[in-house]
Amino acid sequence: MTITLKVSENTKQKMIEYFEDKKRPKTPDYAIFQADEADTVVTLYNSGKAVFQGISADIDANMWKEMEKHLNPNKAVEMTNSNDKKKKEKVIEKIDPKIYYATTIGSDEVGTGDYFGPIVVTASYVEKEHITFLEGLGVKDSKKLTDEKILEIVPKIIKKIPYECIILSNKEYNENYTNDMNMNKVKAILHNKVLKKILEKHQAEYVVVDQFANPYVYYNYLKGTNYVKNITFMTKAEDKCLSVACASLISRYVFLKQFDKLGESIDTFLIKGASDKVDELGVKIVKKYGFDKLKEVAKLNFKNTEKIKNIIEKTV
């Protein structure tokens, strides 16, 4: 494995100091040094290019990547991995016409990767007669739709497409999350609930779930409950089944609305995802409202919580 990281002058100086006693006697052309760090060979060039080669290259490169981010927070980090270039050629996902053109029920979720905001799971029922209508709205390419476009077209979708939706608030999520109740188990339970609800009113040729766990594991999460059987699990299902695509868009629509409400409730513009910027915002919320406020607006099991605590402890 070979990883290349572009470092700034201040990071270069830190690397020169760190590797002073680990340098190899010979230095490649145009390099400041070449050094050994366990199973990694590190070469730092005058240009600021740092090359990490070996079994543990990713570990060492990420360490210096974090240093670069810390020393230069306003600068974009440039890092490339040779393994990325060797990745298999782009796989063309095959669409099964039997499923795509059938009457289906599909479910999908949103919010599981966001520190702030709820988890939203939706199941929708799409009759084959509505396929042309949905394609005309752009639902077939749901991944290409911006949040703005989703806010525009979902009201049109829900006028014609039956659906069931569950919103799991941060407070409920934090009260229920344990070592036994991990994120995938939470998702399985919520998917099962919305599917049961919609199946009480509608029947379909296929019930499709956007796969987030092996089917055996999914059903194991639901052991001892009354769960929906005969599910067709698909990866990237929103590209292959319009009911899943609709479920994905409706979930996103509801999530965006709830996300804005949550931000308004604490007079804060919340940030999606789980980045360093989210940590910074978390610190501001805690300083303004106290740590308990995170129980209402964030998923406490995310690593962001520990990072927020550490930042606050250092500034006290």
* Containing structural domain, residue 278: 267-315
Spell out the residues 6+ positions from residue 208 whose beta carbon is closer than 8 angstroms to its own.
99, 104, 105, 106, 107, 231, 232, 233, 234, 237, 241, 243, 244
Is 90 among the domain residues? no
Q: What are phi and psi of 87, to 5 degrees?
A: -60, 150
How far, in Å, CA of 144 to CA of 109, rounded?
A: 17
Residue 116 bridge partners (DSSP): 298
User: Whole-prediction pTM value?
Assistant: 0.71
Domain check: are 233 and 215 in the same one?
yes
**What pLDDT, in 10s, does the model give residues 130-163?**
999 999 999 987 778 899 999 999 999 999 999 9
Domain check: are 65 and 20 in the same one?
yes
Percent of the chain with pLDDT over 70: 97
What is the model's pLDDT at position 85? 57
Q: How many residues does the chain have?
A: 316
Is 92 among the domain residues? no
Neighbours of 29 (CB within 10 A): 6
Domain count of the chain? 3
pLDDT band at 82 (very low <50, low <70, confident <90, very high): confident
Q: In this structure, what token pair is assigned to residue 148? A: 């703005």
Look at residues 19, 5, 14, 150 and name the one whose alpha carbon lies nearest to residue 79: 5
Spell out the residues 6+ positions from residue 242 whose beta carbon is closer than 8 angstroms to its own.
100, 104, 106, 126, 130, 131, 134, 135, 139, 140
Taking a C-beta distance cutoff of 8 angstroms, is the pair 220, 118 a contact?
no
Domain check: are 31 and 166 in the same one?
no
Reply yes or no on whether the pLDDT at 36 is more than 60: yes
How far, in Å, CA of 281 to CA of 294, rounded?
A: 11
Spell out the residues 6+ positions from residue 250 whose beta carbon is closer than 8 angstroms to its own.
122, 124, 154, 157, 158, 163, 165
Domain check: are 271 and 251 in the same one?
no
Question: What's the whole-number average pLDDT of the chain?
Answer: 92
What is the model's pLDDT at position 86? 53
Domain boundary among 44, 61, 85: 85
Reply yes or no on whether the pLDDT at 259 is more than 70: yes
What is the model's pLDDT at position 177? 87
Average of pLDDT values for 110-125?
A: 96
Is 168 among the domain residues? yes
β-strand pairing of 206-210 with 163-168: unpaired
